[in-house]
A and B are shown apart, each in its own frame.
Chain A
Amino acid sequence: ILNVEQSPQSLHVQEGDSTNFTCSFPSSNFYALHWYRWETAKSPEALFVMTLNGDEKKKGRISATLNTKEGYSYLYIKGSQPEDSATYLCAFSAGAGNMLTFGGGTRLMVKP
Chain B
Amino acid sequence: KAGVTQTPRYLIKTRGQQVTLSCSPISGHRSVSWYQQTPGQGLQFLFEYFSETQRNKGNFPGRFSGRQFSNSRSEMNVSTLELGDSALYLCASSLFDTQYFGPGTRLTVL
User: Does A46 contact B98, Cβ atoms closer than 8 Å?
Assistant: yes
State which of B42, B48, B94, B100 has its C-beta within 8 Å of the C-beta of A102.
B42
Using a CB–CB distance below 8 Å, which chain A residues touch chain B? 32, 34, 36, 42-46, 49, 51, 89, 91, 97-105
Closest to B57 in A: A99
Q: Which residues, 59 to 110 on B, are CB-close (under 8 Å) to A?
A: 90, 92, 94, 97-104
State which of A42, A98, A101 has its C-beta within 8 Å of the C-beta of B92.
A98
Between-chain CB contacts (< 8 Å), 10 pairs: A34-B99, A43-B3, A43-B104, A44-B92, A49-B97, A89-B43, A91-B43, A97-B55, A98-B56, A100-B35
User: Does B42 contact A43, Cβ atoms closer than 8 Å?
Assistant: no
Contact count A vs B, C-beta below 8 Å: 56
> Besides the contacts A46-B98, A97-B56, what 12 more A-B pairs have beta carbons closer than 8 Å?
A32-B97, A34-B99, A89-B43, A97-B50, A98-B31, A98-B56, A98-B94, A98-B99, A99-B33, A101-B45, A102-B42, A102-B43
Least Cβ distance of A109 to chain B in Å? 18
Query: Is B58 an interface residue, CB under 8 A from the partner?
Result: yes
- List of A residues within 8 angstroms of B92 by Cβ: 44, 98
Query: Is B4 an interface residue, CB under 8 A from the partner?
Result: yes
CA distance A43 to B55 in the complex (A): 24
**Chain B contact surface mostly:** strand
Given A34-B99, A43-B104, A46-B98: A99 touches B56 (CB 8 Å cut-off): yes
Least Cβ distance of B108 to chain A in Å? 17
- List of B residues within 8 angstroms of A104 by Cβ: 42
- List of B residues within 8 angstroms of A36 by Cβ: 101
- List of B residues within 8 angstroms of A44 by Cβ: 90, 92, 101
Most buried by B among A97, A100, A103: A100
Closest to B46 in A: A99
- List of B residues within 8 angstroms of A43 by Cβ: 3-4, 90, 100-104
CA distance A34 to B45 in the complex (A): 14
CA distance A90 to B70 in the complex (A): 31
User: Does B99 contact A100, Cβ atoms closer than 8 Å?
Assistant: yes
